[in-house]
Amino acid sequence: MAWFRKERKPRTSSRERLEIPPDAWDKCDECGLVDLREKFDRALQVCPQCGFHRRIGARRYIDILTDPGSFTELFQELRSVDPLGFEGYAERVARAYREVGPQEAVITGHGTLTGVPLHVAAMEFAFLGGSMASVVGEKITRAATRALERRTALVIVSASG
C-alpha cells in the first residue's frame, strides 16, 4: 500500500549556521560558568556570574596600567644566577624561561597613564611563583631609583607566592 505512505522531502534550514571557534569559550574555575572569552577579557578576568578573580599576567597588568603603545621595558638584560648553588635551581629557571618567555619574575619599565608619566614594576607569578630572587630586587630597586630621579610615580604590582 505505497499510496498511504507520505514521501518525505529532506528539510533544509533557513537559518545560517554560525561557526564559533572552540577557543572562543572560557570556563570559570570557581563556578564552572562557560562564556565567551571576550567577556572575561572585558571584565579583567573576573567571572561575570560569581565574581571569581583569575590570575592576570604581568604583561596584561602593564596593558591595563599604561596607555596603548607607551610602555618601554627597562633592564631586560638582567638574568637570574645561582651563586649559592641550590640543587635543581638552574633547571627550574631554564624551564621557567621556556614556559613563560624571556622575562624574569618581574617586568619593569616606564610609560604613561592618561598622559602622565609613570614607572611600572609588575611581577609575573608564572615565573617560579614570582619568587624574589636577586634579579627581582635589582630591577625593582633600579626602577625606584629611576622614578625618583625623574620625579615620576612608581606602581608596583606584587604577585609573589
Total-model pTM = 0.73
**Length in residues, the chain:** 161
Per-residue pLDDT tens digits for 66-91 = 999 999 999 988 877 777 778 887 78
Summarised one tens digit per residue, pLDDT across range 92-150 is 878 877 887 766 788 999 999 999 999 999 998 877 775 677 788 899 999 999 999 99
The terminus-to-terminus CA distance of the chain in angstroms comes to 79
Distances (CA, A) of 119 to 15, 71, 152: 53, 9, 7
The C-alpha angle with vertex 102 and arms to 27 and 57, in degrees rounded to 5, equals 30
Residue whose C-alpha cell reads 573576573 in the numeric block: 46
Q: What is the pLDDT of residue 161?
A: 59
Q: Which residues contact 60 (CB under 8 A, 6 or more apart)?
A: 45
pLDDT at res. 113: 96
Residues 153 and 116: their CA atoms lie apart, in Å, by 9
